[in-house]
Amino acid sequence: MSKLILLLAVCCLCLCLTQVQAQARAFCDGLVAECRRHEREVGPRDDTVDIYNQHCARIDRTWRRITRCQLVHASCLLTILRCDNLTCKNVAGVL
């Protein structure tokens, strides 16, 4: 009986995790869409993105510059879905 309850609990956790990941991904997609809508007014770069690009270019010679909205997208996916840090390697892996 306890094995059945444990199996049921694991199945419920997997279902919840799948549902939460889908909602988090939808949230990130909405955030990026909002960023892209305002990109003409605000611009694709800002000081934060420029500093981040310079830092990553020093660490990794193959680094390609990213835009503000790409950084928003990567930071959302890394923090909400993966609970990971915004390292250059992680950002490149997400994008």
pLDDT at 6 over 80: no
Distance, in Å, from the CA atom of 86 to the CA atom of 78, rounded to the nearest integer, reads 7
The model's confidence at residue 12, banded by pLDDT at 50, 70 and 90, is low
Judge whether 80 and 29 are in contact, CB under 8 Å.
Answer: no
Is the Cβ–Cβ distance between 46 and 68 less than 8 Å? Answer: yes
pLDDT at 62: 93
Instruction: Report the mean per-residue pLDDT for the chain.
Output: 86
Rounded average pLDDT over 49-58: 95
Residues 44, 39: Cα–Cα separation, whole Å: 6
Amino acid type, 75: S
Cα 14 to chain centroid, rounded: 21
- Report residue 39's pLDDT band, with 50, 70 and 90 as the boundaries: confident
